A and B are shown apart, each in its own frame.
Chain A
Amino acid sequence: MKLYTPISRRFLRVWQRNWTVYRQSWKISFIPPLFEPLFYLLAFGVGLSSLVGNIRFRGEEISYIRFIAPALIAITVMNNAFFENTYASFVRMYYQKTFDAMMATPLTVEEIITGEIIWGATKAVIATAIMMAVIGLFGLIRWPEGLLLLPLAFLGGLVFGAAGMVCTALVPHIELFNLPVFLFITPMFLFGGTFFPVENLPGWAQKTALILPLTHLVDLSRAFANGRIDASSLPGIAYLAAFAAAVFPLALSKMRRRLIK
């Protein structure tokens, strides 16, 4: 039986619940996005870049560290949203039965899941802001154009959060998240134009990489961090928006099927 359940602004209540919990442990939550870029910049920027030196990227000579810094932000967006809406959401749904308790209130399943995904995107934005502060200190972000990374992080967060939520709706056990991580997250992390340009891949692999949302997010991050704001960004933004627009309703309907018994 189909119930008429519109999404109201009440999804913010679910978001607020996660924000309240986050504030309890913000000191701990702040540490990874603060130190992770430092580690990466140290390892790749200092360690590896002496081997790599400058690289040619889209007709420009840039330092390797300038090449990877925006990619680190894109990876953080992906990880924060995806892991929040897989492992963390699964714990709330399956072990803590938080969603069950919410479903006995005026909240609908759609509002609960929307709140969760928007929260995943919010975490991506918070982590991005912290990383931007760190990376900015190294002079690797151009201001004020770099501020566009924040709305971009939100869009990217919706993409990976919604994708994560689809996984949460489908996996029987928490261990099975290894599968989407291995098949979806890790390949993007390695081949999404993060540590080397997509152009270095063979032709078929380049085409495959363009299907992956992270490739576009990395590309846009690089453009915004370096102050390149022009029409060339539009296809990437359109792709991410379309991806989110397709996967978000899928997450809602799969979760509805899982939660409503």
Chain B
Amino acid sequence: MNPVIEARHLRKTFGVLVAVDDVSFAVNPGECFGILGPNGAGKTSTIRMIYGFSPITGGTLTVFGLDIARQARAAKARIGVCQQENNIDPDLTVLQNLQVFARYFDIPAAEAADRSRELLRFMALDHRENSRAVDLSGGMTRRLVIARALLNRPELLILDEPTTGLDPQSRHQVWERLEELRTGGLSILLTTHYMDEASRLCDRLLIMDHGRILVEGKPAELVRSHVGLHVIEAVAPAAELPAYLDGLGISYENLGHRLIIRVEDGTSLYGEINLRFCREGCIMRMATLEDVFLRLTGRELRE
């Protein structure tokens, strides 16, 4: 099975700034693949090269086996893109937005009208088909952008932070639609800041920072191998707790007022800590992708 996207030693520089540095990965057909990373990690630069928006600086990149540098038009015709900004056409209605966009793909008018209405139904926007696009709420606008990305019946859907800024209801609705599309066999590449989104949607993902890949794998496996099963968070614990953990040879992260302990099975340890070092505010929870992410990329702000 040939990969939908194959990047080898991909590089992107802007003057002296290295945005993407020696990145290699492959996305298989029907797979949902995630690219995670803090702001400025190189996520958007990477996917912009994939959909032919930015020329690559180095390495090789093929999409559907096509060399994106030379066959961008042929590749772009088969990709649907939902960019980070909601760049809908504010001068047009909801339906017109789709119909005008369909022309860029040379979709005949009658087919474009049918397809547009079908997608508006799919994205639960059919009741707003004649509204001006600027009058839509944030969630509806985002759904319109996703509907627009599906007009050309893409074989690959690329989503740059699809649910940033949406309320929980809208996010869940978007997720359900994306899951439906994935079930239908569509290959999806997405970037996100939300670990719950990545865990839920992605078959595989990579975490990158400073232009480089830190890890790649299945979400659950990454959690198991980089964090463990449980995380104990002790808020304002007794001063002796670090020494106690050191004695047991258990590693932890000390944030001052909060101690994060990552363990394979924390049930007995949790009881012990709760009893002896932390009367209240000690919790044990399942390890998540967010723990992996913070462990690998650190806690400093990226601005």
* Chain A interfacial positions (CB closer than 8 Å to B): 1, 3-5, 10, 13, 16-17, 20-21, 24, 96-98, 100-108, 260-261
Separation of A5 and B52 alpha carbons in the complex (Å) = 12
The interface bits of chain B over 114-128 (1 if a CB of A lies within 8 angstroms of the residue's CB, else 0) are 000000000000000
- Inter-chain CA distance A41–B111, complex, in Å, is 49
Smallest CB separation, B133 vs chain A (Å) = 10
Closest A residue by C-beta to B12: A261
B93 to chain A: closest residue by CB: A24
Contact check, A108 vs B100: say whether CB atoms are below 8 A apart: no
B112 to chain A, nearest CB (A): 12
Closest to A100 in B: B87
Residues on B close to A: CB < 8 A? 14, 48, 51-57, 69-70, 72-73, 76-77, 79, 81, 83, 85, 87-92, 96, 100-101, 103-106, 148, 152
Given contacts A10-B104, A24-B92, A102-B104, 10 further A-B contacts (CB under 8 A): A17-B89, A21-B92, A24-B91, A101-B101, A104-B81, A105-B101, A105-B152, A106-B77, A106-B106, A261-B53
- Chain A residue nearest in CB terms to B151: A105
Taking a contact as CB atoms under 8 Å apart, the answer to whether B105 and A105 are in contact is: yes
Chain A residues within an 8 Å CB radius of B88 = 101
Q: Are A260 and B104 neighbours in the complex by a CB distance under 8 Å?
A: no
Give, as a whole number of angstroms, the nearest-CB distance from A191 to chain B.
36
Q: Main SS of the interface on chain B?
A: loop
CB distance from A259 to the nearest CB of B (A): 9
Across the interface, do B76 and A104 meet the contact criterion of CB distance under 8 Å?
A: yes
How distant is the Cα of A97 from the Cα of B148 in the complex, in angstroms?
15
Alpha-carbon distance between A96 and B91 when the two chains are bound, in angstroms? 10
Return the chain B residue nearest A22 by Cβ.
B91
A17 to B101, CA, bound (A): 8
Contacts of B96 in A (CB 8 A): 20
Contact A17 B76 (CB under 8 A): no
Task: With a 10 A CB-CB cut-off, give which of B77, B89, B91, B105 has the most chain A CB atoms.
Answer: B91
B73–A108 touching, CB < 8 Å: yes
Bound together, the chains give a CA A98 to CA B14 distance in angstroms of 23
